[in-house]
Amino acid sequence: MVHEHLELAIKAALAAGDKIMEIRDSGDLGTREKSDRTLVTLADTEAQRIILNILSESNIPIQGEEYDPELAEYNARLLTVGENPTTFWSVDPVDGTRDLAEGIDDFVVSIALVSDHHSRLGVLYAPARKQLWFADQDTPTHYSEDVDIVKGVHKKVKWPNNMASFDDAIMLASPSEMKKDYFKAFLREINKEQQVKEIGSTALKCALLTLGEGDVYASLHNLNPKNPGLIRDWDIAAADIILQKAGGCLVTLTGYSPRYHFDAPKQRNGAIGYRNVVNHPDYLRKMQPHLPK
């Protein structure tokens, strides 16, 4: 089942990316704040509609970040009232909306296929950076950039052959979290204040790990009682399998693989991504004592 849908997901991501860039280049993003105080733009809603139109060929329910009556109608045709499917698409049309709104290129289209609460297929497309990643259960992570994306030339991502010690590891983190006192304290306690790179999009941080642009990614948002539940399924589902099939892994702050739920998309235990799965136990052991209580 997964193979036949990978091409569909790539097609949807590329088409959505083209629409995002078209709207960004127009200079009128139509940015507004949602009830949860996150941002949404015209690019988010239009890109999600394009993704819906393409993925609807699969007749698989779609979990989308942005509310859309067409999406609700599509899911209603496929599901009975109260039905909670275990196979569904999880879509974030723009992961990194704030960066998009601020003119920064660090945003991606994120599309994942979930089955039995685990990510089985993932596509990430960063249209402004011209970078594409994809993977599924039977396909190792592939990457392409610039004109190779149009040509359909994709290269298998090399598995990590280095095992950076935790002391030498470069951490990728969100600019918004870098401003928080709890995260500053965390970095100070693990001696990472000078070994951190700021990247906005959650999914992009994980994707960049596959290229060796960092060794570990951490988000503690969900441990902050004043700002809980900021990580959603659509933020990490595609990144999960892309990182996994490139020799890394994505886990919660408790050390377990994330589980995805159609009707309950909140990830309540934060997230840590590793460039090399072998480093996971050692890194986690050194970070856990310093996590916010």
**Predicted confidence (pLDDT) at residue 227 exceeds the cutoff of 60:** no
Q: Which residues neighbour 102 within 8 Å (Cβ) at sequence distance 6 or greater?
A: none
d(CA 235, CA 191): 27
Higher pLDDT, 45 or 83: 45
d(CA 251, CA 270): 8
d(CA 253, CA 237): 16
d(CA 288, CA 92): 29
d(CA 224, CA 221): 5
**Predicted confidence (pLDDT) at residue 208 exceeds the cutoff of 90:** yes
pTM of the model: 0.94
- In terms of C-beta density within 10 A (0-12 exposed, 13-18 middle, 19 or more buried), how is residue 290 classed? middle
**Predicted confidence (pLDDT) at residue 131 exceeds the cutoff of 90:** yes
Q: What is the pLDDT of residue 159?
A: 87
Q: What is the pLDDT of residue 150?
A: 83
For the ranges 26-30, 150-154, 170-174, 276-280, which has the lowest average pLDDT? Answer: 150-154
**Predicted confidence (pLDDT) at residue 228 exceeds the cutoff of 60:** no
Q: What is the pLDDT of residue 266?
A: 86
**Predicted confidence (pLDDT) at residue 117 exceeds the cutoff of 50:** yes
Q: What is the pLDDT of residue 224?
A: 58
Q: Going from the N-terminus, what domains does the chain have, and what CATH number goes with each?
A: 2-156 (3.30.540.10), 166-290 (3.40.190.80)
* 148-171 confidence digits (pLDDT tens): 998 888 999 998 877 789 999 999
Q: What is the pLDDT of residue 223?
A: 62
Give the pair of three-digit tokens for residue 230: 């900021």
Q: What is the pLDDT of residue 273?
A: 95
Higher pLDDT, 133 or 200: 133
What is the Cα gyration radius of the chain? 18
Average pLDDT over all residues of the chain:
91
Q: Which residue has the tokens 């497309």?
A: 125
Helix (H) or strand (E) holding 144: strand 139-145
Please report which confidence band the pLDDT of residue 53 belongs to, taking 50, 70 and 90 as the band edges. very high
DSSP per-residue letters across 84-109: --SEEEEEEEEETHHHHHTT-S--EE
Q: What is the pLDDT of residue 1?
A: 42
Amino acid identity at 155: K
Handedness of CA 95, 97, 23, 147 (dihedral sign): negative
- Please provide residue 137's backbone torsions phi and psi, each rounded to the nearest 5 degrees: -55, -35
Please report which confidence band the pLDDT of residue 290 belongs to, taking 50, 70 and 90 as the band edges. confident
Please report which confidence band the pLDDT of residue 220 belongs to, taking 50, 70 and 90 as the band edges. confident
Find out whether 173 and 225 touch, Cβ atoms under 8 Å. Answer: no
